[in-house]
Structure 1
Amino acid sequence: MQPEVSETLAYLELKIAESQLSSTPDQLSTETRAQVSLLARRQFQLEQKILASDEAQQVFLPDATLEEAYQRIQSRYETDTLFAEALSNAALTPSGFKAALSQEMRVEAILERVSSHVEPITEDAAEIYYYTHLERFQLPERRQASHLLITVDDDQPDSDPRVYRKLCALLDKIKQKPTRFDKLVLRYSECPTAMNEGNLGLITPGLLYEALDKALFKMQPGEISPPLRSPMGYHLLRCDALHPATRQPFAEVSARIIELLTERQKGRLQKDWIRQLGH
């Protein structure tokens, strides 16, 4: 096998393992690695057909575009050494990686060209999609919330009860005068949000730690929770506003729907064109 072919296969194996298995080829079992290798070979053969097509002769990938993509990937690593190690672990050299990346980008450009004459999606078509898929545009109930956090030092046996008592004392002060909450957050909270009055932003279910999440979605605006324990420590949680579950209006999502349907149209054109390559 030619070196450039083996490295392109290694590149495809890496892409498949990462996208489908959230792993790298060297972390896979022997059986799974063999399956990934088979998929990579099929992908390689398909790409060779695409690159040998008449349409491929009309696509040119500038060196500057390739270099920009290569540098963008390399910049994800903290150092050049770490990038080189990642390539080595995937059985790739910098030149082999760049060649495989070039092939991938050329294939993408060819497929984009093949599907460039897709029929525009009309507003009416987008609206039909919207009303036949209303469940996809539901927004869950959301809450605006703030908190005061004091952390617990697990290495100190008395830290947990001491912090709990402190939160109870602060809660008593807040109950006497609720407007004290923001000032007490600024003074006592050990969360970076203290500089913004403890604001946690707009919260959807499942975003916070479980104890906080359960409490928040039972609270009313202005209500303050008892001390709540999380892995970080104890929190006083305030519900600032309630946003009921709602549906996104068509006007807000029409552009996204048109983009989605356009991409689907392109995908169908590309698949039809690829099937014809085998005839």
Structure 2
Amino acid sequence: MPDATESGVAYLALKAAQKLYGKATDDLRRGEFERVQAMAQRQHEVETRVLAATEARDVVVPPSTLAAAMAEIRDRYSDEEEFVADLARNGLDSASFAAALEREMKVEAILEKVATQAASVSDMDVELYYQYHPEQFRRAETRLVRHILITINDSTAENTRVEARRRIDAIAARLAKEPQRFEEQALKHSECPTALDGGKLGDLPRGKLFPQLDHALFELEAGGVSGVIESELGFHVLRCDTITVAGVLGFDQARPHIRKLLEQKRKRVCQQAWIRQLLGAE
């Protein structure tokens, strides 16, 4: 098992490499590797100070919480062998990874404890934030959209361009006569995972779909069904279920979001001030 400090730094370097570059540490270029290592070393030093602080007394990570976190991470891999191999690439094994994860969770718990000292958020604070940040509460027009997709794949007989077009045209013809069958037709024929939910893509603002789909969607009226549209994925038919017009989020709707935002900001300020004081005592 690697040395505790080495494994702790390796764990932090792994996270930094993924966050900054989307890579494993052994895939980093020299400059990237040096930056990641410096960040990991410094963070490990800060965490060591946090763990030695008075506020760390009585803070523990329940074994069940650690086990659940480990299980969630393992589930991202196809099997245990892949998980262990990935750890090895980053200078870790299962035991050292668990120890580093527990350390990280304990640091987070200590910082949450410190954050309880943050100034409370008053109703006046919330109201003033709403008054002085009106641009944050403007809501764009959105449309609840469903689609049916037939993909194009010339290596499959039923998905050659000609056959895919024939199939989507037949679906579009049925829906032109009976648009209420859209969800049923999506479930039966769509080659998108959304088929299981009647083709539902969600309540979307402009710019979230391929340009040709986006343009067609925002030309539809509520309840309208499009003609056949081609995108990079294949052929589509869209239905616009509802339209939510652009507007401004009312204060009563915005209040809980603002309170949460301000509380999080004050917690961060409190934590950062505490860490600065802690490091200043070195």
**Bin of the TM-score, shorter chain as denominator length:** 0.7 to 0.9
Give the match for residue 236 of structure 2: 235
Whether the aligned pair in 2 keeps the contact of 1:17 and 1:36 (CA below 8 Å) is yes
- The aligned counterpart of 1:16 is 16
The change in CA–CA distance for 1:155 and 1:264 in structure 2 (over 3 A counts) is same
Name the CA shift for 1:173/1:97 in 2 (closer, same or farther; >3 Å). Answer: closer
Q: Which has the larger radius of gyration?
A: 1
Name the counterpart of 2:277: 276
Structure 1 counterpart of 2:98, which letter?
K
* 2:53 counterpart residue number: 53
Q: Is the 8 A contact 1:224 1:237 kept in 2?
A: yes
- Evaluate the alpha carbon distance shift between residue 64 and residue 215 of structure 1 in structure 2; reply closer, same or farther with a 3 A threshold: closer
Aligned length: 277
Normalised TM-score (structure 2): 0.83
Once the two structures are superposed, what CA deviation does each residue of 1:239-264 show, in whole Å capped at 9, x if it has no partner?
A: 33322122322222322221221121
Cα distance in 2 for residues equivalent to 1:210 and 1:65: 44
> Shift of residue 119 of structure 1?
2.3
Task: Supply the distance in 2 between the matched residues of 1:51 and 1:197 (Cα, whole angstroms).
Answer: 51
Pick closer, same or farther for the CA change 1:210–1:39 going to 2, 3 Å. Answer: same
Q: Tell me: CA distance 1:226–1:73, structure 2 relative to 1, closer, same or farther (3 Å).
A: closer
Gaps of at least 5 residues in structure 1 are none
Residue 125 of structure 1: aligned partner: 125
Q: Distance in 2 between matches of 1:66 and 1:153?
A: 45
Q: Which residue of 1 aligns with 2:259?
A: 258
Asked if the contact 1:150–1:188 (Cα under 8 Å) also holds between the matched residues in 2, the reply is no
RMSD between superposed Cα atoms in Å: 3.0
| 1:268 CA drift (Å) | 1.2
- Structure 2 residue runs of 5 or longer lacking an equivalent are none
TM-superposed deviation, 1:6: 0.8
Alignment partners' CA distance in 1, 2:125 and 2:244: 30
SS at match of 2:271: helix
TM-aligned CA distance change 1:41 to 1:189, over 3 Å: same
**2:80 paired residue number:** 80
Q: Map Cα deviations across residues 50-91 of structure 1 (whole Å, 9 max, x no partner).
A: 222222234233444333333332333332212211211110
Q: TM-score with structure 1 length normalisation?
A: 0.84
SS in 2 for 1:91: coil
> What are the residue-to-residue correspondences of 1:1-279 with 2, within 5 Å?
3-155=3-155, 159-164=160-165, 167-168=168-169, 171=172, 175=176, 177=177, 179=179, 182=182, 185=185, 189-191=189-191, 198-277=199-278, 278-279=280-281
Render the CA deviation track for 1:80-128: whole Å, top value 9, x for unaligned: 2122112111100222112212221222222222221222211221121
Alpha-carbon separation, structure 2, partners of 1:84 and 1:208? 38
User: Could you say what secondary structure the match of 2:23 adopts?
Assistant: coil
SS of the aligned residue for 2:84 comes to: helix
Counterpart AA for 2:251: F
**In 1: Cα distance, 2:239 partner to 2:66 partner:** 51
Using the TM superposition, name which of 30-39 and 206-215 deviates more: 206-215
Identity of aligned residues (%): 33
Quick check: 2:187–2:198 contact (8 Å CA) kept in 1?
A: no
